[in-house]
């Protein structure tokens, strides 16, 4: 049965927010300011797309929210840490995040660095402490999340972005997979691993295909919004990529071709998982992402 994606996104976001609030309660910690900075950057914002995918892929294969929510929270903590560090003067030097001062503006650069470090490290404690899944599932989850968040995944993508070494469209696709798709891939696989500690290689490959294509399509949509979006909706000026002389999909293609590519990638992502039972969530999310305004 088809789902209302906006309702389901909100439902899972609320569940994730509640769980994160508990994990980041700040009890028995030596420095309250550090925890305040962690909470400031993690709670109260974002669509929780990665958490949504973790829960959806768990339920697709017979799991539950209880099994998946610690993994979902771990992914969101790593996502939050990456945004804190992205905003620092040494990286993107952004004073705003989700319409409010960035962590380093609010708390200072040193505290922001520590908040990011703490969220990254604590994410694996949350993941490893999940008693609702098997020990083997925990090991699989820790392994895939650490790999896809590190130099072979998200951090590797950030390094490529900083080095300005994109020369071809394929270089750009690799950057987009590493920078965005890798953590989406981790989110989907964590959901599957919360249920299955003896993973089927063909299922894993299909999940990876979905996530990789979705990650690239997601970034292409961001590129398009930077040209066509409404600044009042996006929350920042448009045209920033061109002003920064940044290579995006619109460096290699015109707008119409870029929109067609996003559509084709989205269709291929959906095709990778549509035959699995209860795949409505991931499939409808992929369609919804194409229509987002921010």
Is position 159 within any domain?
A: yes
Is position 293 within any domain?
A: no
Q: What is the mean pLDDT of residues 247-257?
A: 94
The Cβ of residue 89 has, within 10 Å, a number of other Cβ atoms equal to 12
Which residues, in sequence order, are CB contacts of 240 under 8 Å at separation 6+?
Answer: 226, 246
Residues paired with residue 100 on neighbouring β-strands, in sequence order? 97
How far, in Å, CA of 293 to CA of 147, rounded? 31
pLDDT at 205: 98
Give per-residue pLDDT as tens, 143-170. 999 999 999 999 999 999 888 889 999 9
Tell the burial category of 169 from Cβ atoms under 10 Å away from its Cβ (0-12, 13-18, 19+). Answer: middle
pLDDT beyond 50 at 34: yes
Q: What is the mean pLDDT of residues 252-273?
A: 97
Is position 292 within any domain?
A: no
Please answer whether residues 149 and 68 qualify as being in contact, where contact means their C-beta atoms are separated by less than 8 angstroms.
Answer: no
CATH code for the domain in which residue 211 is found: 1.10.600.10
Mean pLDDT of the chain: 92
Q: What is the domain count for the chain?
A: 1
The pLDDT confidence band at residue 1, using thresholds 50, 70 and 90, is very low
Give per-residue pLDDT as tens, 85-121. 999 999 888 888 887 899 999 999 999 999 999 999 9
Please answer whether residues 125 and 77 qualify as being in contact, where contact means their C-beta atoms are separated by less than 8 angstroms.
Answer: no
Is position 291 within any domain?
A: no
pLDDT at 228: 83
How far, in Å, CA of 170 to CA of 107, rounded? 39
Share of the chain above pLDDT 70, in %: 94
The pLDDT confidence band at residue 231, using thresholds 50, 70 and 90, is low
Q: At 96, which helix (H) or strand (E)?
A: strand 96-97
pLDDT beyond 80 at 11: yes
Is position 162 within any domain?
A: yes
Q: Which domain holds residue 25?
A: 5-284
């Amino acid at each position: 049965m088809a789902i209302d994606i906006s309702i389901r996104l909100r439902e899972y976001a609320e569940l994730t927010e509640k769980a994160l609030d508990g994990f980041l309660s700040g009890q028995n910690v030596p420095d309250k300011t550090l925890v305040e900075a962690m909470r400031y950057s993690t709670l109260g914002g974002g669509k929780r797309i990665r958490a949504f995918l973790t829960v959806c892929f768990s339920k697709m294969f017979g799991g539950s929210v209880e099994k998946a929510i610690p993994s979902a929270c771990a992914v969101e903590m790593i996502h939050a840490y990456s945004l804190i560090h992205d905003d620092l003067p040494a990286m993107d030097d952004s004073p705003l995040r989700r319409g409010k001062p960035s962590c380093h503006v609010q708390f200072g650069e040193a505290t922001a660095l520590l908040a990011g470090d703490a969220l990254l490290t604590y994410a694996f404690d949350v993941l490893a402490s999940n008693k609702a899944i098997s020990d083997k599932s925990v090991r699989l989850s820790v392994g895939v999340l650490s790999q896809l968040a590190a130099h072979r995944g998200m951090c590797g993508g950030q390094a490529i972005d900083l080095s300005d070494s994109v020369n071809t469209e394929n270089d750009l696709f690799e950057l987009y997979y590493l920078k965005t798709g890798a953590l989406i891939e981790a989110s989907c696989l964590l959901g599957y691993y919360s249920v299955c500690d003896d993973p089927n290689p063909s299922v894993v490959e299909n999940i990876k295909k979905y996530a990789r294509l979705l990650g690239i399509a997601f970034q292409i949509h961001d590129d398009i919004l930077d040209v066509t979006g409404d600044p009042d909706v996006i929350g920042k000026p448009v045209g920033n990529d061109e002003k920064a002389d940044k290579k995006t999909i619109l460096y290699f293609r015109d707008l119409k071709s870029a929109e067609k590519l996003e559509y084709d990638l989205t269709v291929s992502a959906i095709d990778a998982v549509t035959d699995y039972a209860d795949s409505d969530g991931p499939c409808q999310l992929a369609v919804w992402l194409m229509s987002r305004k921010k």
